[in-house]
Structure formats: C-alpha cells, structure tokens
Structure 1
Amino acid sequence: MNRPRVLVTGGSGFIGGTVLPLLRAEEVRVRVLAHRRPPSRGRHLEVVDGDLTDPASLRGVCRGVDRVLHLASYIGKDEQRCLAVNADGTRHLLAEARRAGVSGFVQLSTAAVYGNGPFRGTAEGEAEPRPVSATSRTRLAGERLTLGAGGAVLRPYLVYGRGDQWVMTGLLRMLRALRSGLPEKGSALLSLTEVGTLAAALTRLALTAPARQAAGVFHACPPRPVSLRELVAATHQHLGFPLLRGDQPFERARQELVAAGCDGHLLDLFGVDHWFDATRLRTVGGCAPGPGLSAGLAAHAAWYRERLL
C-alpha cells in the first residue's frame, strides 16, 4: 500500500510529541522539520533542518510530501518573535507547500483567538475573533493565510496532558492564590481537550478526510464542557491540587489574584465561559470525542504529580 508522506512542524513540542507516534503507528512516512529540538529518529521518520523564520532554509522541505501538519508556534510576549514564527513562518511554509504541490495543509491554532469571552456553545463562524495577546493575534494572522490557501485550522481551547507546560501550571497558581474561594461559585464552563484526543483528530483529519471537506476552521473540543468547579474537584482528586469550597465575586477574585502576584488574565482563562461546539470536526473528520475529564486526568496524573507538586 502506498502510504502518504507527511511533513510535520513542531514535532518535538507538546502536541507534536503525541502526534508523531500516531503517524508512525499508521506506517505513514513522516518528515519532521527540526529547528532546536529534533525528535528521536526511527522507522518511517526523516528529520530535516529548517527554520520557519528563514525562507531559504525551507527550500525543498515539502518536495515529495502529500500533506503538511503545521503544529509549530511561538507562545510568548515578544511580539516580533510571535510575528516572525506564527505569521511569517506560516507564510513561508505555505509557499513551499504550494511550490511542491502539497494536497492538504492542516494547522494547529487555538480558540484563544476569539478573546476573553464569554462563549457558550459557540460553533465555527458564530463569533468574530478578537485576540488579546501577541501570541493570539499572530496565530490568527497565520490562520488566515492557511485558510486563504484552502487549508484546515484546528482550534482547541485548553489542552492538557503529558507535556503541558501552561494549563495545569496556571490553574495551580490560581488556586493557590484564591484563598477566599472560586469566582462565582466556579460556574464558568470550559472546553478542555486531552492531548491524545487532539493528536488523533489532527492525524485523522490530515490523513483521511477529503481535501475539499477538510478545509476551514474546526473547533477541537469535547462534546461537553466542564465547570471550573468540576475541574477543581477533578484536579484535587487526581493531581492533589487545592480544593477550594468558598465563593467570591469575580472582580474580588481578580483583586486577590493580582495581590498575590499572579496575572489577572488567569481569571479570564478559567473563570469565564469558554466552551465551543465541535460537531463539525466529529462529522467531517469522524473524530472520537475522547475520554471525559476524570479519565483524561487519571491517564496523565503521574506525569503531572512528578512535575507540579
């Protein structure tokens, strides 16, 4: 059987590290664009050097490639670096893909491009993106280039699991600072996606969905949101995080966070409704909904406990 060849960027990152074993299990021929942290080599895996910010270094990386999984991004406050990687880097990669005649281009983005919310069961096309950070602004700019070229963009909200350096760290920091209790009884509803489920969706969309259907924006979220209160209870049970039982108004919680030296934006991430309808991904891509939060956290509990507590 003639297996496709897939170029993967960001293969050594949080999501890429889970995607690569799935591709290799499918016996797909994988070419990984490596910059600073090359992944371990193995069967059906080719590693090539290149830098998204340097177009000359990308020449030929898509030659002989059928699909591109663009997972690389820069997350930080350096706006110039964000622009160079997330927007211009995507433009450079798309140019190479177009030159090589690549038949499918799938990019990982984030639902953070929508801004601070609230969002309640929001489907693709129902909300205008209003990003509030340099990372989100430039990832949205990169998205628009991909969509303009007929590619697909996946937007998860909060992604957790082995390799996560942001979500549970931020939640733990917030819980340790909020001594008076959760904002608004922890009623905010959130879309949390387990990393293996997201990796499977990316893999399936890139390999199996017809190119004409696997285009546009896809929310990559589970069918049911969880409340902040449920999230706190689950992380207490599986990860040993603090269990907050009290209640306080939203703005008082923000003041408490800031007084404790935390970024008040944590409250916008966890304390405001951010849940998104992902019916399109499950319909077009045939993607499974994945485990519930409790089962997902249990699967990654040992990794988190070793690093966070």
Structure 2
Amino acid sequence: MGGHGSPGRRDGEREDAALSGTTTKDDDGTIVLTGATGFIGSHALTALLHRGRRIRALVRHIPEDGAAASVEWVRGDLTDPAALGGLCEGASAVVHLASYIGGDERRCGAVNVDGTRALMAEALRARVPRVVHLSTAAVYGAGPHRGITVGEVTAEPTSAVSRTRLAGEAYARHAGAVVLRPGIVLGAGDRWVVPSLRELVERVPAEWDGGRALLSVVDVGDLARLITAAATGPRPVPPGVYHVGHPDPVRIKDLLAELSALGVLPPRPTEDWPWPACLERLRTTPGRASERQFALAARDHWYLADEIWKLTDEPPGPGPLSRLARSAEWYRAHLHGADTA
C-alpha cells in the first residue's frame, strides 16, 4: 500500500512534534483509526468527526455506507505489515482500537500482538506525535479488585485474549502511547456484556451475593469522547497506562435493576443467594458464559479512573446507568433478534 500525506516533512520538525505532543504547521491533522467499524471504534469515529477531524481508517472491508467526505477508508489488515506502509504519514494521532477477542489463540497473537507491533513501528517511523491504544482491565485477571490504581496489583491475564492484549500494550507504550484499560463498556453495539448478563440472570435466577459487587463501567459514548480528547485535545496526556470507567463504580444490583426496568432483562428475582450457591447453580446449568465471566459481573472489579478524565479536561458525565435509556431500544432489538435467530 502506498504512502499517504506529505512525505517531505523535515525530520527535525517531526522530532519536535513527537516530543511536545503538538502538530507541526505542515501536519494535515489526520487521525489514523483502527477498529472504525467495531463497537467502540464506530462511536469513536463519530466523535472524531464531530470534532471536525479528518480520519484515515484502516479496515478489512470498506462499509457500504462509508461515504463521509472526511473519512479516507484504507483497505488492509493489521496482520499484513505491508498494508501498513505509509499509513501514518502526516498524521497527528494514531488511535488503535482494533483487537481480536475470539477463541482462536493464533489469531489473538497475530492481531493483538503482531498487528499492534507493526502499527506502532509505523507510528514511530512516521513520528506521529500522539498515540492512543485501547486495552482492557481484563489483563488483571480474576480479582476480586476493589478501588485499585494502575500498578497496584500485578496483571495476571487468564485468557488468550487478555494475555495478548497485555503483550500488545508493551509495543504501544514503547511508541509513547496513552494506553486505556476500560472495564465494562455499555451502549448500542454491545454484543457481549448485556447478552451475557441476560444468560447469567437466566442461569442463576437470584440476587448474586446480595448484588453488592462494585464494577468499573463506562458508556461507549463517554468512552468515545475520552478517546477523542486524548487524541485531539489541546493538552497532551502524558504517555502511560490509565484505567477508564466512570469515577463512581456501579453496583451490579443497580445495573441489573436498570436493565430490567428498561425491558432489556427479565424482572429482578426476589431471592438472595450467597456466592457459593450462585457458583453451584452456574456449574449445573448449561450455557456459554464461563465462571470467569460470571465472576467479572458478580464480584468486585472496580478500578480507580479519575485521573484520565482530569488530564483530558473531559467531564465524565452523569454515569453509565443514566445513559442506558438511549441504548435500551437497540438492546431490546438485538436480544429479540438473538431469540428468533
């Protein structure tokens, strides 16, 4: 794939831009975006366009409705390093949101590790002044975790997805990236969290250990705002790893109650089962969700996230429970489709 932008920029100007976190006068302001057609990436694309930025989006398949004048769709795959040549030329930021979260361990490594390494090498070669990389709080492993800061506990990923995403972080950090570790992300396009919650409430029809678990949760629209601010805001965010979630944790009891009130999940049960009884019911009831996935929702997984909102000067908003009403219709339609598929 050929180069993009203006290859004639002087090396000294590029180096100054990379060190200061600002764009140079001949920088075209383009944002390189991966994952633009995915759940989080599609919201980030919208947020970046609303900020008036031009986007160069690397995608495996160009969307049929991808006719926005401010988006340059580049067909390519993270697993093909040749496709990345010139991708970052002249860009003011790289926003890397693409990942593979399926069960193929080989592809996990190819996309989340090798693909990230190749993209970050291209960002370094092009001296892109800002890099934002999306990871996950799942790299911490089983937990429970209650109100921890970055580095307070050792990352101990338990799946191929989280192991390879942690490995990919190393290449992003070498490129000077702002690495974001969200917990639970909710909103239109979520095909994982709320569908899994529906399965779990059907398999374990009780209040889970009093419903007291505290979770790090963020609405996808608020996450997209944060990503956009990190990539384009007037004040560069220092490179490093940051938790992402609303500063106030969400109790699982309150999350399930709100989803039930919106008609997304069944009515809430009246019985309260202790944790061992919940696990026993899960183990004896067939389903796709694992014990690990159940524990992520029913046990504390709360990570302190105030710092990134302050550094980006972005208000965190009213909280993910307040945002659910705007995605409830999407969830109802998606879950109904799953019932009839």
* TM-score category (smaller protein): over 0.9
Residue of structure 2 in register with 1:6 after alignment: 31
Match for 1:80: what amino acid?
R
How many Å separate the matches in 2 of 1:157 and 1:215?
20
| TM-score, with structure 2 as normaliser | 0.86
Are 1:190 and 2:215 matched, yes or no? yes
What is the Cα deviation at residue 209 of structure 1?
5.3
What is the Cα deviation at residue 292 of structure 1?
2.4
Q: 1:302 aligns with which of 321, 329, 335?
A: 329
Residue of structure 2 in register with 1:36 after alignment: 61
How many Å separate the matches in 2 of 1:244 and 1:144?
44
Residue of structure 1 in register with 2:258 after alignment: 234
How many Å separate the matches in 2 of 1:103 and 1:195?
25
Indicate conservation of the 8 Å contact 1:205/1:214, yes or no.
Answer: no
Match for 2:127: what amino acid?
G
| TM-score, with structure 1 as normaliser | 0.95
How many Å separate the matches in 1 of 2:128 and 2:319?
36
How many Å separate the matches in 2 of 1:6 and 1:71?
12
Are 1:176 and 2:220 matched, yes or no? no
Which SS does the other structure have where 2:270 is aligned?
coil
How many Å separate the matches in 1 of 2:71 and 2:320?
32
Indicate conservation of the 8 Å contact 1:214/1:285, yes or no.
Answer: no
Residue of structure 1 in register with 2:5 after alignment: none
Are 1:25 and 2:50 matched, yes or no? yes
Q: Structure 1 residues 209 and 147 mapped into 2: Cα distance closer, same or farther (>3 Å)?
A: farther
Indicate conservation of the 8 Å contact 1:58/1:93, yes or no.
Answer: yes
Are 1:81 and 2:81 matched, yes or no? no
How many Å separate the matches in 1 of 2:281 and 2:62?
38
Residue of structure 1 in register with 2:294 after alignment: 267
Q: Kindly provide the CA deviation profile for residues 30-82 of structure 1, in whole angstroms up to 9, marking residues without a partner as x.
A: 10001135471212111111111111111111112121000000001211100
Residue of structure 1 in register with 2:232 after alignment: 207
- Name structure 2 gaps, 5 residues minimum: 1-24, 337-341
Are 1:158 and 2:188 matched, yes or no? no
Residue of structure 2 in register with 1:137 after alignment: 163
Runs (4+) off by over 6 Å: none
Which SS does the other structure have where 1:241 is aligned?
coil
Q: 2:244 aligns with which of 198, 216, 220?
A: 220
How many Å separate the matches in 1 of 2:89 and 2:321?
43
How many Å separate the matches in 1 of 2:164 and 2:264?
36
How many Å separate the matches in 1 of 2:270 and 2:293?
19
Match for 1:89: what amino acid?
G
Q: Kindly provide the CA deviation profile for residues 130-159 of structure 1, in whole angstroms up to 9, marking residues without a partner as x.
A: 111110000000011111221111111000
How many Å separate the matches in 1 of 2:97 and 2:73?
15
Are 1:97 and 2:107 matched, yes or no? no
Q: Identity of counterpart residues, as a percentage?
A: 42
Indicate conservation of the 8 Å contact 1:52/1:92, yes or no.
Answer: yes
Which SS does the other structure have where 1:28 is aligned?
coil
- Judge which range, 294-303 or 194-203, deviates more: 294-303
Indicate conservation of the 8 Å contact 1:189/1:274, yes or no.
Answer: yes
Q: If you compute each CA radius of gyration, which structure gives the higher value, 1 or 2?
A: 2
Indicate conservation of the 8 Å contact 1:160/1:192, yes or no.
Answer: yes
Indicate conservation of the 8 Å contact 2:217/2:246, yes or no.
Answer: yes
Q: 1:288 aligns with which of 288, 297, 315?
A: 315
How many Å separate the matches in 2 of 1:34 and 1:190?
32
Indicate conservation of the 8 Å contact 1:52/1:90, yes or no.
Answer: yes
Match for 2:214: what amino acid?
L
Indicate conservation of the 8 Å contact 2:62/2:75, yes or no.
Answer: no
Indicate conservation of the 8 Å contact 1:185/1:246, yes or no.
Answer: no
Match for 1:49: what amino acid?
R
Q: Kindly provide the CA deviation profile for residues 145-190 of structure 1, in whole angstroms up to 9, marking residues without a partner as x.
A: 11122111111100010000100011000001113x1221111111
RMSD (Å) for aligned C-alpha atoms? 1.6
Indicate conservation of the 8 Å contact 2:212/2:253, yes or no.
Answer: yes
Counterparts of residues 99-138 of structure 1 (less than 5 Å): 99-138=125-164
- Name structure 1 gaps, 5 residues minimum: none
Which SS does the other structure have where 1:66 is aligned?
strand
Indicate conservation of the 8 Å contact 1:197/1:288, yes or no.
Answer: no
